[in-house]
Copies of this chain bind each other. A is one copy, B any other.
Amino acid sequence: MKVLVWNENRHEKTNAIVTEIYPEGIHGAIAEFLQDDDVQVKTATLDDAQHGLTDEILTDADVLVWWGHLAHDEVADEIVEKVKQRVLDGMGLIVLHSGHFSKIFKSLMGTSCDLKWREAGEKERIWNIDPTHPITEGVGQYFELEQEEMYGEHFDIPTPDELIFVSWFEGGEVFRSGATFKRGKGKIFYFRPGHETHPTYHNKDVQRVIKNAVKWANNTNTPTHVYGNAKPLENILGR
C-alpha cells in the first residue's frame, strides 16, 4: 500500500526545539516509522508546488496522513476540495493533533471541530476503550505521554462511528483522542497526540497506533455503487 504523509512543516523552520526533535520534519519522522515491506511512503509539505498534492500524487495514495497547525488558512480551497473528493472516493485519511482545525477535517465533519487546549506539558494517559479494534492491536490498556499539550472536551465533532481512545490529563480534562468516521468510501481516523515541542512521534505506542491506523484506513474494496436515475427490477414495474 502507498501512504502519503503531509505536513505543514512551518514550526520546523522557525522553532529550534522542534527542529531538534524532528530534524527531518514531523513528516520525515512519521514516514520513517511507517515505511516497511508492505508500505511505501512519500511525503509532501505546504510549501511544495500545489502543496505537494497534485492529482497524480493524490490518485496514487491509498492513505493520507495530515499534520497542520499554524497555516490551515494557507491551504488552498481548491486543493482541499480535491483531497476531500479523493477521501470520498476511497482514500483513507489520518488526521493528527492540531489537524482537528484543518480545512479538510472540518469540511468532512461538518462541525466547528473546536476544543479546549492548554500548553503546560502535562502528563497524558491514553486509555484504550476498544479491545476489538485493529487500531489497538498490540496496544495495552493505556499508554502514557510524560508531557503533552492538553486537549479537552467538549470536542465539537459528529458522533464518531467508533470511539477508540479517551485521554486523561493531569490538569482535570478528558478527551476523545481516537475516533473513526466513514465518509463516502473513505475511512478517517482522528488521533490526538503530537504537539510539535514534545517528542511524541518518537513514542513507540504512538507509532504503533499510527501504523495500525494506516492499515485499517486502506479501503481495498472496489465498490460498484451506482447513483442517479435507476431502472426498476425487471418484470416488477411492467405497467
Q: Which A residues are within 8 Å of any B CB, using their own CB? A: 84, 88, 90, 107-112, 114-118, 120, 122-123, 125, 127-134, 136-138, 140-141, 150, 152-154, 156, 158-159, 161-163, 166-174, 176, 181-187, 219-233, 236-237
Residue of B170, B174, B184 near A237 (CB, 8 A) is B170
A131–B158 CB distance below 8 A: no
**Complex copy number for this chain:** 4
Main secondary structure of the interface of A (DSSP, over half): loop
Given contacts A117-B228, A140-B224, A172-B232, contact A154 B183 (CB under 8 A): no
Residue of B114, B118, B138 near A232 (CB, 8 A) is B118
| Chain B hits for A125, CB < 8 A | 172-174, 233
| Chain B hits for A230, CB < 8 A | 116-118, 150, 152, 173
In Å, the complex CA distance between A192 and B161 comes to 23
B173–A167 CB distance below 8 A: no
In the complex, the chain B residue whose C-beta lies closest to that of A159 is B161
| Chain B hits for A136, CB < 8 A | 221, 223
A116–B172 CB distance below 8 A: no
In the complex, the chain B residue whose C-beta lies closest to that of A125 is B172
| Chain B hits for A159, CB < 8 A | 161-163, 182
B181–A138 CB distance below 8 A: no
A237–B120 CB distance below 8 A: yes
Given contacts A118-B232, A184-B156, A185-B132, contact A110 B112 (CB under 8 A): no
B118–A141 CB distance below 8 A: no
Residue of B138, B153, B219 near A132 (CB, 8 A) is B219
**How far, in Å, is A221 (CB) from chain B's closest CB?**
5
In the complex, the chain B residue whose C-beta lies closest to that of A217 is B132
B183–A232 CB distance below 8 A: no
